[in-house]
Chain A
Amino acid sequence: GNSVTQMEGPVTLSEEAFLTINCTYTATGYPSLFWYVQYPGEGLQLLLKATKADDKGSNKGFEATYRKETTSFHLEKGSVQVSDSAVYFCALRSNAGGTSYGKLTFGQGTILTVHP
């Protein structure tokens, strides 16, 4: 079945540091890939997405590239801010059809804390 593996956390960085959160996946076919963010006390929000190989999703300074050869979708940001402190989830949606079309499979989440 489909699965998503994220790097172990938590991750603690100083403001303006470079961020990488690793994400690898296992899926049949060609899934769509997503990063969601969950700020304290809030619901899940879509951060960025990529729907096919070599696509780069970007939003709010965050980027991730869909790498089919390495089945990866690592999240990066060149200079983090205190306001980026949140939990980040990598997820995939199978495009293989069938009754579970649209179902999201999530990784376990990575807690990011950014200090001033």
Chain B
Amino acid sequence: EAGVAQSPRYKIIEKRQSVAFWCNPISGHATLYWYQQILGQGPKLLIQFQNNGVVDDSQLPKDRFSAERLKGVDSTLKIQPAKLEDSAVYLCASSLDGTAAGYTFGSGTRLTVV
């Protein structure tokens, strides 16, 4: 089965610019997650979708970050405007129903804000 696809793999932007990341989960997976992994730290959940509804966005900095999952399939995560501290790897993961023992993670998008 195809894995979780993410693009782009790398992105370099200047602070105050905007950026968007795209994720295509495994077909049929209802639950989709976006995690932020800052260098030297473990991933931290930003937002969790169940189908096209938001389940948990308590850790999402909503003044600059937004995410959507149209039609319950693909998802985009946007940052506008970016700050230096947003430099991180953004990981997308999906699971069949959130109750599965493990997820499938994508390879991530490495964002560098200069």
Contact = CB atoms under 8 A, between A and B. Distances in A.
Q: Do A and B come from one complex?
A: yes
Interface string B53-88: 001101000000000000000000000000000000
A105 B42 CA distance: 8
Contacts of B103: 46, 104
B95 A44 contact: no
A114 B44 CA distance: 27
Given A43-B107, A100-B56, A108 B42 contact: yes
A39 to B, nearest CB: 11
B43 A106 contact: yes
A28 interface: no
A107 B44 CA distance: 10
B48 A43 contact: no
Sorting the interface of chain B by its residue count into under 10, 10 to 19, 20 to 34 or 35 or more gives 20 to 34
A108 B40 contact: yes
Contacts of A108: 40-42
B91 A43 contact: yes
Interface in A59-94: 89, 91
B43 A44 contact: yes
A32 B55 contact: no
Most buried by A among B42, B45, B55, B108: B42
Interface of B: 4, 31, 33, 35, 40-45, 48, 55-56, 58, 91, 93, 95, 98-99, 101-103, 105-108
Given A89-B42, A106-B44, A107-B42, 14 more contacts: A4-B42, A34-B102, A42-B107, A43-B91, A43-B105, A43-B106, A44-B43, A49-B102, A91-B42, A102-B31, A102-B95, A103-B56, A104-B103, A106-B43
13 contacts: A43-B107, A44-B93, A49-B102, A89-B42, A100-B48, A100-B55, A101-B99, A102-B33, A104-B45, A106-B43, A108-B40, A108-B41, A109-B41
